[in-house]
Amino acid sequence: MSDHTSKQFDTELENVRSSVLQMGGLVEEQINRAIEALESGDMVLIDLVPATDRQVNRMEVELDEQCSHIIARRQPAAGDLRLIMTVIKTITDLERIGDEAVKIARMARLIHEADRANMPRIEVNHMASTAIAMLRKALDAFARMDAVAAASVVLDDIELDQEYSAILRQLVTFMMEDPRTISRSIEILFILKALERIGDHAKNMSEYTVYLIKGRDVRHIGVDDLQREAAS
């Protein structure tokens, strides 16, 4: 992929790649803590989510600056330029995933401060596991430069969206049958929407990885075309 000959440049690019994966690990930790806090009501865990988010935000700014300096000093071309562009876009999505984790933690606090009163019987763990797995797969595909694995995240996102729609219908039913569940249902709705958005951001990251490897922008092509492009 690389057209350059500078070992120092190689090191700079590798440091940027490693920092993206480190940022991704922090974001995954945020989501796990938020979901665990939703289950347990552990306020210490709830407080850790926004605390970690501040660290994620700092990493986004630092990585943006590193990429800007590389572009200015090295004037990368071809695959190296695609890597820098992929990193810039990926860290934006990672930062937004962190924001969604903060939203989940905020809703968890509201639910447990109300002692889980009038909670609708809704299961969110499976959807949460799917969203976290998508993020992990997207990061792994980026790390291993695996276009096929990256493209598969798009299919996972379709399943996540379907699950979101199904649970949303359940929530509406609960609210219609028992108005006392409305407050908790709205809080759960925010959690479900946050998980659905996490899946969207993971999908975006995977599309950037396909672009990095294949050199083609695949954000607005059909799923079948994306699968063929990744496998070619």
DSSP 61-79: HHHHHHHHHHHHHH---HH
Residue 230 confidence class, pLDDT cut points 50, 70, 90? confident
CB 45 within 8 A of CB 37: yes
Residue 167 confidence class, pLDDT cut points 50, 70, 90? very high
Angle at 54 between CA 48 and CA 55, to 5 degrees: 90
Residue 5 confidence class, pLDDT cut points 50, 70, 90? low
Walk me through the domains of the chain, giving residue ranges and CATH numbers: 7-231 (1.20.58.220)
pTM listed for this prediction: 0.92
Q: Residue 5 has which token pair? A: 């000959």
pLDDT in tens, 95-149: 999 999 999 999 999 999 998 888 888 889 999 999 999 999 999 999 999 999 9
**Interval 184-191 mean pLDDT:** 95
In the block, tokens 């350059």 appear at: 4
Give the closest residue to 163 by CA, choosing from 125, 111, 205. 125
Cα 192 from Cα 199, distance rounded (Å): 11
Cα 181 from Cα 47, distance rounded (Å): 26
pLDDT for 2 beyond 60: no
In the block, tokens 């709205």 appear at: 186
Share of the chain above pLDDT 90, in %: 80
Chain mean pLDDT for the chain: 92
Specify the amino acid at residue 10: D
pLDDT for 3 beyond 50: no
